[in-house]
Amino acid sequence: MGKKLKKLKFLITAGGTREYIDPVRFISNASSGQMGYALAQAAIDAGHNVVLVTAPTNLEEPKGAKIVRVETSSEMFEAVKRHFDNCDVLIMAAAVSDFAPVKVSKTKIKKSNHSLTITLKPTIDILSWAGSKKEHQFVVGFALEDKAVLDRAAKKLESKNADMIIANTPAAIGSPRSQVTILTRNYILQLPTASKAVTARKLISVCLSKFEIQNRR
């Protein structure tokens, strides 16, 4: 008989957050949420518990996951904070907005012939927060870069105090397939282009292996 696998608690974020300008308009991005949902399903299929914090998507919910629905980056941050202490592995697959409007109009902004200037402010860096608060947790982030991909991913690994960074490019946005590179402080693995379901299963496998190594120390 092999060693029985410990059932871990995964906290996974997915989708692109929305930052509202007025009650009907918002700033967002082109994230489809496919990778986050694929990761949630892969973790469930591997026998683990999953809390999926998801921004709006058109995807079918992974069966067996606890779903926490959010819209804005601040709502996603509150959800991550609420579940972080109780998780073993956090995977920040969501495309969280980097900026949000300083002021949100309470009523719909009417169209006019005048230019409209919207002042933006930085949003909370959820990955950095998790990296500063982690104790037993294994913290995984994504780095989507259009140049110097591996160099920037390595810098993000250090600056956010993450345990693993998944590097990819804008070609992954909205696509059912992706090519990613996994980075830790002493490990790098480039995965071949594959469906996000296949890539997610490999990522979960590597997370489990690295989590076990980390918690043996």
What are the structural domains of the chain? 9-103+120-214 (3.40.50.10300)
Q: What is the pLDDT of residues 124-178, one digit of tens each?
A: 999 999 999 999 999 999 999 999 999 999 999 999 999 999 999 999 998 999 9
Compute CA 65 distance to the chain's CA centroid, rounded to the nearest angstrom.
Answer: 16
Residue 2 has pLDDT above 50, yes or no: no
Residue 1 has pLDDT above 50, yes or no: no
Distance CA 76, CA 103 (A): 19
Percent of all residues in the chain with a pLDDT value above 90, rounded to a whole number:
93
121-126 mean pLDDT: 98
Residue 116 has pLDDT above 70, yes or no: yes
Q: What is the pLDDT of residues 57-103, one digit of tens each?
A: 999 999 999 999 999 999 999 999 999 999 999 999 999 999 999 99
pTM confidence score: 0.95
Non-local (6+) Cβ contacts of 85 within 8 A are none
Residue 4 has pLDDT above 60, yes or no: no
Residue 3 has pLDDT above 90, yes or no: no
Cα dihedral 106→110→111→114 (10° resolution):
-80
* CA distances, 62 to each of 171, 172, 187 (Å): 24, 20, 30
Where in the sequence numbering do the catalytic residues fall? 29
Helix H or strand E segment including 188:
strand 187-190
Comparing 1 with 184, the larger pLDDT belongs to 184
pLDDT at 5: 63
Q: Identify the residue whose tokens are 């959820």.
A: 126
Nearest to 163 by CA among 197, 179, 187: 187
Classify residue 95 by its DSSP letter. B
Which amino acid would we find at residue 36?
Answer: G
